[in-house]
Chain A
């Protein structure tokens, strides 16, 4: 390792710590502020909060609109996660094991939604669903979220499938298992952590997706980030900080789970 700590002078070492700390703070501070504000008593989001209170949380949980949008978000994210994973699984097998022309192009195609600006995807998907008269439906939310979540599921599953020693599956086959049987009984259990991580990432992508969701939403059906967005435009209330905190909280849990799954799979 070029950057081994032992070989550095104390000056270099301490400045490195300072810089790292500064960057970490820069990344984490907004989250810290939002969480603090959600517990602050000031209606006008004064910082530091003059007093601590849970009243904004009460407001949040009293308002059926917030609860509905949170439940919608959860529903969309769960469906997106399941569907993206179900599509990603066979796709990953084809992309890793398949021997056909244009395999690498197909791989690029699968990861394209990660590179193309979301606005462009949003506009395109909006156009399609508007024509079909399907905007504002759960179906539209899930389909459009699957598009942007799929690359994350595919990449995670492909990585674990590449690390998986195929001769283990071959061993099951020569032992008498049909190829599909071998995949279900041996390969899937072995790459389970990768599949799980992929599903979690897909969930996360959907959970905090806002650009596409704003276009798909109707007054009756909207996800939490959309509700936050529309509320924000009318009225800057600390309830938004509450919604953000909850959003972050769930994301954090999912990240930790994904991290654990990943660590488990790398053993």
Chain B
């Protein structure tokens, strides 16, 4: 295999560095002063809803769009003045973008032909990579004779064959059906592990982002509003938008009453110490449905509340059994609507109308001082 695996470089400077990167179309800001470092060998995903600026950012790295201002560094050298074809970047597009008049072999060989690689070496590289993406038997077919998944594998092979510093992928699996998408996600993850290449991946599918990436950058209106591993972003969302964007969430309005306490519907509850909300201010408490434990009154009296737990009162509206889990919709004493999700092994007695206790661990809640209506209205279902 001619593609080298990345054996951990000693230098700690990032491979790609976006500095205050900005793109405006007229007076519309598509990308708003983004700062981001991407390490060598990393699999980073841009996740965000439609129009949030993911593709525009990727296009600027690829050189198809010129930044209005800001800097892009690759290996500490500015890319701004370098045309796309000299950046040494690989890219995979959503609609495969294979050359229709060339067969698979020539599609993959194209970057090598452009670089005037000697024929023997070119053929060997193409053969190696054909094997890697398991397309040896299709080498002589035209793209129109391939399935969607095969086309995308050709596109990936074409982008990898010249060993680029970095591979950009803009919703590469977006045009495929669900089953195929999951298969290719697994293949891609293995490929990344095996080759150690740096990948920047764009998607608006959060499952895909979680499944594939080491880090996720969450885009909103041209800004990165969350950056971290999928686990961290999910467990400790940096803001209410990320909390509601990733997975589902419950939001409770509380009033801060001390360094790590607040009142919710007249009851004092404990807060996780990491928060910056001033005393007596309204704050938003976020709890994931699976962290919200529902107990019937009987159960509650049998198992006393732990020191790291909070409790609230509610009434069950509806409970839905979903096989592996049980989802309950509950109205709290003062009328907030929350959802809980419990593993359906030991089912509590919860019929609609039943009085229940809600319990959650302090470390499972997040507190926000600022939020927008749209952040908390998206969910609640």
A interface bracket (residues with beta carbon within 8 Å of B):
10 to 19
> Inside 8 A of B95's CB, which chain A residues have their CB?
165, 167
**A267, closest chain B residue (CB):** B144
Pair A172/B89 contact, Cβ less than 8 Å: no
Q: How far is the CA of A171 from the CA of B96 in the complex (A)?
A: 9
Query: Taking the complex as formed, is A189 at the interface, i.e. its CB lies under 8 A from any CB of chain B?
Result: yes
The A contact surface, by secondary structure, is helix
Q: What range describes how many residues of B lie at the interface?
A: 20 to 34
Which chain A residues numbered 101 to 149 have a C-beta less than 8 Å away from chain B? none
Partner of B85, one of A167, A168, A173, A267: A173
Task: Verify if B82 is at the interface (C-beta below 8 Å from A).
Answer: no
B237 at interface by CB-CB < 8 Å: no
Q: Do residues B64 and A168 form an inter-chain contact, with CB atoms below 8 A? A: no
Q: Mark A174-189, 1 if CB is under 8 A from B, else 0.
A: 1111110110001001
B99's nearest neighbour on chain A, judged by CB, is A186
Q: List 30 A-B contacts (CB under 8 A).
A: A165-B95, A165-B97, A167-B94, A168-B97, A168-B98, A168-B100, A170-B62, A170-B93, A171-B91, A171-B93, A171-B158, A172-B99, A172-B110, A173-B64, A173-B85, A174-B85, A174-B87, A174-B91, A175-B158, A175-B159, A175-B162, A176-B85, A176-B111, A177-B85, A177-B110, A179-B85, A186-B99, A189-B101, A190-B99, A190-B100
Given contacts A173-B84, A177-B85, A179-B85, contact A167 B93 (CB under 8 A): yes
- Minimum-distance CB pairs A-B, first 3: A175-B111, A171-B97, A176-B114
Within A66-112, which residues are at the interface with B (CB < 8 Å)? none
Q: Which residue among B87, B111, B155 has the maximum number of chain A CB atoms within 10 Å of its CB? A: B111
Q: Given A168-B99, A170-B64, A175–B110 Cβ distance below 8 Å? A: yes
Given contacts A168-B99, A174-B90, A186-B99, 20 further A-B contacts (CB under 8 A): A165-B97, A167-B93, A167-B95, A170-B62, A170-B91, A170-B97, A171-B91, A171-B97, A171-B99, A171-B155, A173-B64, A173-B84, A173-B85, A175-B110, A175-B158, A175-B159, A176-B111, A177-B85, A178-B83, A190-B101
B88 contacts across to A, CB distance below 8 A: 176
B168 to chain A: closest residue by CB: A174
Contacts of B178 in A (CB 8 A): none
In the assembled complex, which residues on chain A have CB atoms less than 8 Å from the CB atom of B159? 174-175
Question: Once bound together, how far apart are the Cα atoms of A190 and B86, in whole Å?
Answer: 24
| Bound CA span A165–B98, Å | 10
Q: Which residues of A contact B (CB under 8 A)?
A: 165, 167-168, 170-179, 181-182, 186, 189-190, 267
Contact of A174 among B84, B98, B100, B115 (CB under 8 A): B84
Which residue among A175, A176, A186 has the maximum number of chain B CB atoms within 10 Å of its CB?
Answer: A175
In the bound complex, residues from chain A placing their C-beta under 8 Å from that of B99 are 168, 171-172, 186, 189-190
Complex Cα spacing A175 to B95, Å? 16
Among A167, A171, A172: residue with most chain B CB under 10 A: A171
Interface contact A177-B64, CB-CB below 8 Å: no
Are B114 and A175 in touch, CB under 8 angstroms?
A: yes
Q: Which chain B residues border A175 with CB–CB below 8 Å?
A: 85, 110-111, 114, 158-159, 162
In the complex, what residues of A have CB within 8 A of residue B155's CB?
A: 171
A182 CA to B111 CA, complexed, in Å: 11
A55 shortest CB reach to chain B, Å: 50
Q: Which residues of A sit under 8 angstroms from B94, Cβ to Cβ?
A: 167
Q: Which residues of B contact A176 (CB under 8 A)?
A: 85-86, 88, 111, 114-115, 162
Distance between Cα atoms of A79 and B90 in the complex (Å): 43
Residues from chain A with Cβ under 8 Å of B114 in the complex:
175-177, 181
- Residues of B within 8 Å of A167, CB to CB, are 93-95, 97
Residues of B contacting A190 with CB < 8 Å? 99-101
Interface string of B96-108 (1 = CB under 8 A from A): 0111110000000
Distance between Cα atoms of A179 and B64 in the complex (Å) = 11
B53 CB to nearest A CB, Å: 18
Interface string of B225-261 (1 = CB under 8 A from A): 0000000000000000000000000000000000000
Contact yes or no, B89 A174, CB < 8 A: yes
Alpha-carbon distance A93/B93, docked complex (angstroms): 22
A168 to B29, CA, bound (A): 27
Q: Within the complex, what minimum Cβ distance (angstroms) separates B112 from chain A?
A: 9
Chain B residues contacting A267 (CB-CB under 8 Å) are 144
Q: How far apart are the CA atoms of A172 and B110 in the complex, in Å?
A: 8
A102–chain B nearest beta-carbon distance, Å: 17
Q: Which residue of B lies closest to A179 (CB)?
A: B85
Give the residues in chain A near B86, CB-CB below 8 Å.
176
Which of the listed residues B91, B99, B144, B162 has the most CB atoms from chain A within 10 Å of its own CB?
B99
- Chain B residue at minimum C-beta to C-beta distance from A181: B114
A97 to B84, CA, bound (A): 17
**A186 nearest CB neighbor, chain B only:** B99
- Nearest to B111 among chain A residues (CB) is A175
Query: Complex formed: what's the CA distance from A181 to B85 in Å?
Result: 10
Q: Closest residue of chain B to A169, judged by CB?
A: B97
Docked Cα-Cα span, A148 to B86, in Å, equals: 42
Residue-wise, chain B 158-171 has the 8 Å CB interface mask toward A (1 for contact) of 11001000000000
Q: How far is the CA of A176 from the CA of B62 in the complex (A)?
A: 11
Cα-based distance from A182 to B86 in the complex (angstroms) = 13
CB distance from A126 to the nearest CB of B (A): 44
**Cα of A267 to Cα of B142 in the assembled complex, Å:** 14
Return chain B residues, CB-CB under 8 Å to A177.
Answer: 85, 110, 114
Tell me the smallest distance from the CB of A160 to a CB of chain B, in Å.
12
Residue numbers in B under 8 Å from A165 (CB-CB)? 95, 97
A186 vs chain B, min Cβ distance (A): 5
A173 to B162, CA, bound (A): 13
Residue of B nearest to A182 (CB): B85
Within 8 A of A (CB), among B55-91: 62-64, 83-91
